[in-house]
Structure 1
Amino acid sequence: MRCCAFASLCLIVPLAVSATAADPPQPYGPVPSPRQLRWHELEVYGFLHFGPNTFTDKEWGYGDEPETIFHPTDFDADQIVSTAKAAGMRALILTAKHHDGYCLWPSRYTEHSVKNSRWQDGQGDVVRAIAEACRDHELLFGVYLSPWDRNHPDYGTPAYLTYYRNQLRELLTNYGPIFEVWFDGANGGDGYYGGARTTRRIDHRTYYDWDHTWAIVRELQPEAVMFSDAGPDVRWVGNEAGYAGETCWATVRAGQAVPGAANQRVLNVGVRDGDAWCPAEVDVSIRPGWFYHASQDDAVKTVDKLLDIYYASVGRGCNLLLNIPPDRRGRIPDHDALVLKQWREVLDRTFAVDFAQEAKVSGPTRGGDERFSPGNVADGDRSTYWATDDDVITPELVLEIPRFATFNVVRVREYLPLGQRIDAFAVDWWDGENWQELAAATSIGNVRLLRTPTVTTSKVRLRITKAAACPAISEVGLFLSPQ
């Protein structure tokens, strides 16, 4: 088997074994890299928008903010990270530098950073504090480094790329393992630019020379995924409202997008026959804004809204990046933390018991080989999967539950190392005399969650109604969400 530094999060891919009754199915289309498989396993993690905007009450700083404006009164990295962990988040991404150019670490390449703030007498380092707290709480750590810089005098010239890459190297070499590097799509406009209050436009297709910037990440943090409109590992979902398309493929056409200029509709649904595995990340804030604003204290999303977002993001095969901005103290606000805790409690109660694991599962088996048995969908092991013969692409699977089960959430997972194979499926329940369709959907991928009417039954049927290749299903789960 293949192992990695993030072993606890790896989707273990069994090595090929010699053929017995049947060979494993061949992969269909693009398949995820090991780093992407590890990313898929995370499912939910947090965004931390923090910086001068927190204190100026802005969303996009102009770049002329004095270095002393950043002054959290009671900064507590442990409180921030422990709040994220209590919400079930498995990682955090920090805005190390937003568009205002202000650095939350003492960068040697600029004076526009915390080293010239009043906070901790200029000796503080937010990046290090959050990174270390993440390690203490066993969360992964990622960084956001805005390509646009409204403070730097060289922005728009080749010299700025040297500056930007130097800072990227600082972040990737001084703060331990990085799981994701986040490249924003905001590019150019009016700003301070070292005192030249002007507007600077760049050609976002060519200016950043992304291939050479991405190569730095591959060199220094080879296990990190990179996010932008164009990937190369993870794409934007096309909105900041918290939902993926009802159909959402993990594949796209390579080279059809550049950071900051992409078709949002295509990003939202992907491309069924794309030639690159580049799944969507759903970024949304728990508040109306990305940075903390006291005026929005009464507008924090409710538990029900966060649940809707979860099912429309994670439940459609994407990962959820939920922004939880620290306040002017340097802590997650108390009400936000409470809502996050309550949201996690509902999710934990929902997925605590999988009624499918009590079931006897029947259906066609690839070559009669037990390695591809229908029972694999209910064994609690994502490294096993059910598969059929190559020419059986619309099979049915029946789960017989020894005692009646009451459920209202169905979870289906494909075995990702073999690609995204299924185009449409349906779930039926047995009413005692006949099968009744309970729900139907299209793409599956990493996970598909279907919220259904609450039913009580002893039998459930999964029907693959359209597929490009024989199915490779690693899980079918049945759960009861509290009302």
Structure 2
Amino acid sequence: MKKTIIGSFLCMGLVLSVGAQKVTPPAPVYPVPSARQLAWHQLETYAFIHFTTNTFTDKEWGFGDEDPGIFNPSKVDANQWATVLKQTGFKAMILTTKHHDGFCLWPSNYTEHSVRNSPWKNGKGDIVKETSEAARKAGLKFGVYMSPWDRNRADYGSPSYISYYRNQLKELFTNYGPVFEMWFDGANGGDGYYGGKREQRKINGATYYDWPTTLKLVRSMQPDVLFFSDAGPDIRWVGNEKGVAGETNWNSITPDTLYAGKSGINEILNTGSDDGTKWIPAEVDVSIRPGWFYHASEDSKVKTPEQLFEIYLSSVGRGSNLLLNIPPDRNGVFHPTDVAALRGFKKLLEERLTNNLARQVRVKASNIRGNAAVYNGAKIADGDKNTYWATDEGVTVADIEVELPAAKKISYVLLQEYIALGQRVKAFTIEALKNGSWKEIAGGTTIGYKRILRIDPVVTSKIRVRITDSKAAPLISNLALY
């Protein structure tokens, strides 16, 4: 039998031959993600752990004058945190190692304001160590948040504080194993204890910390770490703490447009920019409770499994990652109400987004790149994240149709782009065949790493995805129906 495809698709630069016709792989549409950013996208959901003196003072932001003696949990069970997270589908956890109050959850050599001077474990404990080890044991990645602002330090605002901050980063990044993400926020300067001064201090957030030097230092210790902040450089804030990414959500953004206090910055962070110069995807941070730290008064206000599922759809379902905060209580464990909510959330995910009806389907595409099998429509249903349907160069409007073996009730449609070559799709619609004619059931703008659309349930045997606008030839790697 004569082979119609000669050779194999081994790398982006390889040209395929189909008969006498040359089929060139799609060129990247820049910017594109780095290898570590691609791996980050695949994490999808992970947890924030907020736990410090605030847990015992019932505050959200400590002033910095807290007596370390107040930090005295009956036990700290980081293995419980990690086990619950693993069982409920989370892939990593980020520990708040030092919040704005300056209290350190590890026995830092550079301050007395730490667990070393608490009664917990007679000052011999190290929560960062216990958490990092529990994460590794459970197969979770470990990340750290260390607030740049420190309301305890007498020298905050002076050059010596930057040396202090960097020395503590050296401790975190050399003593606790691999750190996948370093998280820092924009809360910088204001009133504080400041070693007894009890005053207001203002700093220039754009220059004071000399972030390029600080990040270079961290990356010299751990080259694979990802940096999160308002503007990245690897991951950006989504612009709110409600759990909602933009319905239009570009992974690209131009960092030069992001300055604290600039009008419209939150909207830019929420949607990204289709002409952005850097790949800096959005991370959605939200707490399972109204606050970030545990408060007994909020035990009745824990988000329900249904609310968590809604947040999942508006974060992961819009191409972002979800960082869900679960604060340990004063015993040092996740509260039973929070654990029940997480388990209920996992159950909803399993019930609603596990049984993919598009596994054994016939696929028909309006255009296939070079008519090559390596780019045909079947690639959207083969379960391989590294294959994709692609159109000919210049074809930015195209349809792909799937036919199920029998009519099924469909409530959710999931789409994924092959983002290793950039984000492309600018608009699409989804149609179902009803009574012999096509009916639009959903639509949107961007797809990105993952887009999940909830639709009014429809019983059909055929679904059609119409790409109506794209930066370049669309590359669709996955279609799932639930």
* Shared fold per TM-score greater than 0.5: yes
The interval holding the TM-score normalised by the smaller chain is over 0.9
1:320 and 2:322 correspond: yes
Contact 2:15 2:25 in 1 (8 A): no
Relative to structure 1, is the Cα distance of residues 477 and 83 closer, same or farther in structure 2, using a 3 angstrom cutoff?
same
Match status 1:76 vs 2:77? yes
1:402 is the counterpart of 2:405: yes
Give the secondary structure class of the aligned counterpart of 1:265: helix
Confirm whether residue 105 of structure 1 aligns to residue 106 of structure 2: yes
Distance in 2 between residues matched to 1:232 and 1:189, nearest whole Å: 25
Paired AA for residue 280 in structure 1: A
TM-superposed CA distance for 1:214, in Å, is 1.1
| Corresponding position of 1:277 | 279
Provide the residue aligned with 2:359 in structure 1: 357
Give, in whole Å, the separation in 1 of the partners of 2:347 and 2:65. 43
Report the alpha carbon displacement of residue 258 of structure 1 after superposing the two structures with TM: 4.6
The equivalent of 1:450 in structure 2 is 453
1:463 positional shift: 0.2
Partners of 1:473 and 1:218 lie apart in 2 by 33
Q: Which of residues 376, 379, 389 in structure 2 aligns to 1:376?
A: 379
Aligned to 2:44: 43
CA distance in structure 1 between the partners assigned to 2:392 and 2:219 by the alignment: 39
Q: How does 1:134-173 map to 2 (within 5 A)?
A: 134-173=135-174
Q: Distance in 2 between matches of 1:20 and 1:322?
A: 48
**Matching residue's letter, 2:17:** T
Corresponding letter in the other structure for 1:426: T
Does the 8 Å contact 1:29/1:273 carry over to 2? no
Question: In the alignment, which of 402, 414, 423 is matched to residue 417 of structure 2?
Answer: 414
AA of the residue aligned to 1:336: D
Within the candidate set 461, 469, 474, 2:477 is matched to 474
Equivalent position of 1:267 in the other structure: 269
In 2, are the aligned partners of 1:361 and 1:398 still within 8 Å (CA)? yes
Distance 1:100 1:201 in 2: 16
Q: Per-residue deviation at 1:260?
A: 7.8
The corresponding residue for 1:252 is: 253
Structure 2 CA distance for partners of 1:332 and 1:389, relative to 1, 3 Å: same
Quick one: distance in 2 between partners of 1:79 and 1:373? 46
Shift of 1:113: 0.4
* CA offsets 1:151-178 (integer angstroms, 9 cap, x no match): 0111000100000011011101111111
Structure 1 CA distance for aligned equivalents of residues 14 and 175 of structure 2: 41
Counterpart contact for 2:50–2:327, Cα < 8 Å: yes
Separation in 1, partners of 2:116, 2:29: 51
Residue pair 2:12, 2:25 contacting (<8 A) in 1 also:
no
2:435 to 425, 432, 437: 432
Aligned AA for 1:19?
L
SS in 2 for 1:20: strand
Residue 294 of structure 1 corresponds to 296
What is the aligned partner in structure 2 of residue 10 from structure 1? none
Q: TM-score, normalised by structure 1?
A: 0.95
Which residue of 2 is the match for residue 385 of structure 1?
A: 388
- 1:306 and 1:160 map into 2 onto residues whose CA distance is 39
CA–CA distance in structure 1, aligned partners of residues 156 and 304 of structure 2: 40
CA RMSD of aligned residues (A): 1.2
* Whole-angstrom distance in 2 between the partners of 1:16 and 1:322: 39
Written as runs of structure 1 = structure 2, the 5 A alignment for 1:118-133 is 118-133=119-134
Instruction: Tell me what 1:19 maps to.
Output: 16
Which secondary structure does the structure 2 equivalent of 1:417 belong to?
helix
SS in 2 for 1:315: helix
Query: How many angstroms apart in 1 are the aligned matches of 2:400 and 2:132?
Result: 45
Aligned length: 467
* Aligned mates of 2:73, 2:448 — CA distance in 1: 42
Q: Secondary structure at the match of 2:16?
A: coil
Identity of aligned residues (%): 52
Gaps in structure 2 of 5+ consecutive residues: 1-9
What is the Cα deviation at residue 16 of structure 1?
Answer: 4.1
For residues 55 and 361 of structure 1, what CA distance do their matches in structure 2 show? Answer: 58
Residue of structure 2 equivalent to 1:7 = none
- Counterpart-to-counterpart distance in 2, 1:52 and 1:231: 29
- Is the CA contact (8 Å cut-off) linking 2:381 and 2:480 kept in structure 1? yes
Taking the aligned partners of 1:20 and 1:219, their CA distance within structure 2 comes to: 44
Match of 1:355, SS state, is coil
Task: Report the AA paired with residue 357 of structure 1.
Answer: R
* Deviation at residue 35 of structure 1 after TM alignment: 1.0
SS at match of 2:446: coil
Task: Name the CA distance, whole Å, in 1 between partners of 2:260 and 2:298.
Answer: 30
List per-residue Cα deviations over 1:67-89 (Å, max 9, x = no partner).
Answer: 11111112111111111112211
Judge which range, 405-414 or 215-224, deviates more: 215-224
CA distance in 1, matches of 2:107, 2:25: 52
* Inter-partner Cα distance in structure 1 for 2:14 and 2:107: 52
CA shift for structure 1 position 259: 6.5
Report what 2:3 is aligned to: none
- Residue 59 of structure 2 aligns with which residue? 58
CA distance in 1, matches of 2:481, 2:235: 29
Deviation at 1:356, TM superposition (A): 1.0
Q: Amino acid of the residue matched to residue 394 of structure 1?
A: V
Task: Please give the alpha-carbon distance, in whole angstroms, between the structure 2 residues aligned to 1:208 and 1:112.
Answer: 21
> In 2, distance between residues paired with 1:348 and 1:225?
30
Closer, same or farther in 2 for the Cα pair 1:17/1:91, shift >3 Å? same
* Structure 1 residue 92, shift from structure 2 partner: 0.2
Contact residue 78 and residue 134 of structure 2 kept, 8 A? yes
Amino acid at match of 1:459: K
Q: What are the Cα deviations for residues 405-459 of structure 1, in whole angstroms up to 9, with x where unaligned?
A: 2210000000011111000001100113100101000111010000001111111
Q: Does 1:462 align with 2:459?
A: no
Distance in 2 of aligned mates of 1:346 and 1:90: 18
**8 Å contact from structure 1 (residues 229, 260) kept in 2:** no
Aligned partners of 2:233, 2:179: CA distance in 1, in Å? 16
Amino acid paired to 1:409: Y
CA displacement 1:232-270 (0-9 Å, x = unmatched): 000000000110111111111122225787811110111
The answer to whether structure 1 residue 343 and structure 2 residue 345 are counterparts is: yes
Deviation at 1:324, TM superposition (A): 0.2
**Residues 165-202 of structure 1, C-alpha deviation per residue, up to 9 Å, x if partnerless?**
11011101111111100011100011111111111100
Instruction: Give the Cα–Cα distance (whole angstroms) in 1 for the partners of residues 78 and 160 of structure 2.
Output: 34
Residue identity in the other structure for 1:217: V
Give the partner amino acid of 1:187: N
Match of 2:224 in 1: 223
